Structure 1
Amino acid sequence: MNHLYMERHDDKDNMHRFYQMFVTPGLFDDWSLIKEWGRVGSPGTVRKEWFDTQEEAIVAGNKLCTAKCKKGYQSIPAVR
């Protein structure tokens, strides 16, 4: 997982949210998991978490992805 984009829609509650994650290398042999979330069509909130290895960042991202899927988020494939 280097990039993941997910959305959750509930028309009844007027809920249209997105969540995306990136795993990227840092400058000092570290790795970050960059998370952005918010309402679809609006700028989101961005947070970074730092990890010593790429594998740790990917594991953290996969755990978050699993939690979001349980809440109703669905992965949206990248458009090429």
Structure 2
Amino acid sequence: MLVQPYRLYVERTDPEKNMARFYVLAIETTLFGTPCVTRCWGRIGSTGQKKVHHFESERDAVILFLDLLRVRRSRGYRVLYHARTA
């Protein structure tokens, strides 16, 4: 069981380069009760790609979540402050 929910949606847009990308990160619980990091990415308006990482502890999942967030922020992705789902 997760201590708190983790879900993040970030975008990177650049009209000059015709760039419109999204990235979704979430920590969820599997049917077996273990945490997993789910990440989805692609062009805004598409279904994109999806990858799931399974862990034994929530701490390890949070470490990957924060590392992925740090990389996305360094590449120009920004958190949107209005509600959006992917």
TM superposition score normalised by structure 2: 0.85
Matched, 1:36 2:45: no
CA contact (8 A) 1:29 1:52 kept: no
**Cα displacement (A) at 1:27:** 2.4
Instruction: Work out the number of aligned pairs and report it.
Output: 80
TM superposition score normalised by structure 1: 0.91
SS at match of 1:12: helix
CA RMSD of aligned residues (A): 1.6
- Which blocks of at least 5 consecutive residues in structure 2 are unaligned? none
Matching residue within 55, 60, 77 for 2:59: 55
CA contact (8 A) 1:4 1:21 kept: yes
Distance 1:26 1:15 in 2: 33
- Which blocks of at least 5 consecutive residues in structure 1 are unaligned? none
Matched, 1:69 2:73: yes
Distance 2:48 2:59 in 1: 26
- Write the deviation string for residues 29-57 of structure 1: whole angstroms up to 9, x where unpaired: 32100000000111110110001111111
AA aligned to 1:49 is H
SS at match of 1:3: strand
